[in-house]
Amino acid sequence: MKSEELHQELRQRILNLSGVTERQNAGIHEDAFFVGRTMFMHIHGRGHCDIRLPKADQERVLAEGKARPHRWAPEAGYVTLIVDDEADLDPAMDLIRMSHLYFADKASVPQMQNQ
């Protein structure tokens, strides 16, 4: 899958989650994804994903090597994951769903089955 196709597939998977909206060029973020009024993740360029997690999940994900620390805002719960190829999509979506579930629950967004 080419870089642009991979990026579009990732975006579509994120947008298929309940209550997710996208704001392009939101501040320094090329693609920012919100649930309710909360940005729960954003993408820089093609595949550089910054995902916001609850602190306990952030610590576990980092300890398990599933992501790396966010360069600028680790204290906000962000981790970084790079999606370079198709094999990276499912692991990325696991973390994105974790984030979405947490922030959707806080925003009282109804959940659909099998996201």
The domains located in the chain, with CATH, are 3-106 (3.90.1150.30)
Say whether pLDDT at 11 is over 90.
yes
Bridge partners (DSSP) of residue 35 are: 20, 38
Three-state DSSP class for 56?
A: helix
User: Pick from 59, 56, 29: which is nearest to 41 by CA?
Assistant: 29
pLDDT beyond 80 at 109: no
| Amino acid at residue number 58 | Q
Rounded CA-CA distance 45/18 in Å is 24
Q: Whose CA is closest to 20, among 45, 47, 46, 38? A: 38
> Highest mean pLDDT range out of 2-6, 88-92, 102-106?
88-92
Contact 94, 17 (CB under 8 A): no
Q: What is the pLDDT of residue 91?
A: 96
Phi, psi angle pair for 86, to nearest 5°: -60, -35
Question: Which of 31-40, 53-62, 70-79 is the least confident region?
Answer: 70-79
